Amino acid sequence: MWTALAAVCAAVMVSLGLTQPAAAADWPNVATGATGADVGTAQYLLRSHGHDIAADSDFGPATKAAVVAFQQSKGYAADGVIGAETWPGLVVTVREGDSGDAVAAAQTALNKHGHGLEVDGEFGPGTASAVTSFQSSKGLPSDGIVGPDTWQGLVGQGGDGGGGHSLPIPRDTLGRGYYEAPHHDYPALDLPVRTGTPIYAVHSGVAHQVNNDRCGLGYSVEGDDGATYFYCHFSAHQVGSGTRVDAGTQIGLSGNTGNSTGPHLHLEITAGGAQRCPQAALLAIYDGATPPAAGDLPTSGCIE
């Protein structure tokens, strides 16, 4: 009842001009060679339309063939590219109580935005909470239903079309100010979180476990963007070395291992042979904007 009332109130406020609806995100173009969360989302949606393909987040020949077949069935231009014409026909409205591949698609898309859901195809209370949180953050009616506007926001924002980006911790764990805080003497970022907080991959890539005196338990992720992302001080690893991860994949749990003065996540980004300041990238992700390329991040100005 409260969710419905909130949605009605939001609509009334927009109609009275008290708030402005969020500008619609552009549907991304996803095609052969792309990897990451948007591809996985599309693959699950294709499966929901009866196309028997793997949801491996890798746009290969089988996915292209399924896209062409789907486009032909709808009378769209059969170019094998999932873009502004194909996405609206591909998405399926889902809500609490639903199950299946379309729900798995929504969960995959939500994880691109850092929600850390198990992709089990079951639309339960956890998924419903993630949907309303996402809708609220984007100025959409918070009705908990993944309909056309919410789908467009999910796949059209928070990513670069090749895997997307995610906050490294659940969005509601820390406020925005923590993402712009300087580090003590070199480019990095420390996020003070309790032991056991889920940690997500910021960008898609290949994860390698780390376990040493400085970092403690952690990962280096060789990003698909050419950068390397380092995560330190975990209490537990959750993916094996050599595992391909998407943005938003949960890779471990925060902790206080290694050279650490208290429970927190330590994050570094290296690109172009230099350590880069993560702050601008994570602030953009927090704000729902596309972050600057890792190689364009500054190498100074992010320390005390």
Domain count, the chain: 2
Residue 265 has a CB neighbour count (10 Å cut-off) of 23
Spatial contact of 86 and 138, defined as CB atoms under 8 Å apart:
no
Decide if pLDDT at 2 tops 50.
no
Query: For residue range 75-117, what is the model confidence (pLDDT) as tens digits?
Result: 999 999 999 999 999 999 999 999 999 999 999 888 877 676 7
> Whole-prediction pTM value?
0.57
Q: Same domain for 187 and 251?
A: yes
Decide if pLDDT at 3 tops 70.
no
129 in any annotated domain: yes
Q: Same domain for 112 and 209?
A: no
- Identify the CATH number of the domain in which residue 195 sits: 2.70.70.10
Domain-ending residue, one of 156, 184, 210 = 156
- Identify the CATH number of the domain in which residue 36 sits: 1.10.101.10
Distances from the Cα of 79 to the Cα of 26, 52, 64, 69, angstroms: 19, 19, 9, 10
244 or 233: which carries more pLDDT confidence?
Answer: 233
Q: Same domain for 133 and 199?
A: no
Decide if pLDDT at 267 tops 70.
yes
Q: Per this entry, what is the length of the chain? A: 304
Domain that holds residue 126: 2-156
241 in any annotated domain: yes
Q: Which pLDDT score is estimated for 66?
A: 97
Helix (H) / strand (E) element for 39: namely helix 37-48
Of 214, 207, 251, residue with least CA distance to 232: 214
Q: Which pLDDT score is estimated for 289?
A: 74
Paired residues of 229 in beta bridges: 221, 269
Mean pLDDT within 223-250: 90
**Could you give the CA distance from residue 106 to residue 151 in angstroms, rounded to a whole number?**
8
Confidence of residue 24 (pLDDT cuts 50, 70, 90): low
Q: Same domain for 138 and 199?
A: no
166 in any annotated domain: no
Helix axes of 101-112 and 125-137: crossing angle, nearest 10 degrees? 50
Mean pLDDT within 288-301: 88
Q: Which pLDDT score is estimated for 72?
A: 97
Q: Same domain for 15 and 106?
A: yes
Instruction: Give the three-class secondary structure for 62.
Output: helix
Q: Same domain for 15 and 146?
A: yes
221 in any annotated domain: yes
**Could you give the CA distance from residue 185 to residue 170 in angstroms, rounded to a whole number?**
26
